[in-house]
Amino acid sequence: MALLKTQALKKHYGNGDTAVHALDGVNLEVESGEFVAIVGTSGSGKSTLLHMLGGLDRPTSGNVTIDGKDISTLKDEELTIFRRRKIGFVFQNYNLVPVLNVYENIVLPIELDGKEPDKTHIDKIVHTLGLDHKMNNLPNNLSGGQQQRVAIARALAAKPA
């Protein structure tokens, strides 16, 4: 069974002659452990597709299934919880909280879920990403690459599917 699947996924903006068909019937399957690259020219729908796959935006039609769950049918609050538990998303601008240090930014989604972070797992991620000595730093005291690695660590911290 595919870990991630889309069926006839469409996203249209606007109506009539000025409508933009950002996605128009995308079918995709990704198996557990598989690596996939989404490539294309500017304006071809890459970000729109990622937003649909990450549950950040709703499709016009079609569906997205993650780990056996059709996220297209979830209510907003259910989708927020599902996303926090099952999806690791690294934003283009990282979305780090400026008043939280590196460690606090990494564990924030886990704590918002009312859970205790797996310290061993977090330590392994932090070490792998070379952030060991930056845990108490605020984001504005980090380079762009370090901020990106904090965002990656946060995306992996909850062990998303």
Q: Taking each helix axis as running N to C, give the angle between helix 144-157 and helix 102-112, from 0 to 180 degrees, rounded to the nearest 10.
A: 30
pTM of the model: 0.83
H or E stretch at 5: strand 4-13
Whether 24 shows a pLDDT value over 90: the answer reads yes
79-95 in b/e form (b: 16+ CB < 10 A) is: beebbbbbbbbbeeebe
The CA distance from 82 to 74, in Å, is 9
Tens digits of per-residue pLDDT, 45-60?
A: 999 999 999 999 999 9
In single-letter form, the type of residue at position 30 comes to V
Give the pLDDT band of residue 91 (cuts 50, 70, 90).
confident
Whole-number average pLDDT of the chain: 95
Residues 6 or more apart whose Cβ sits within 8 Å of residue 73 = 63
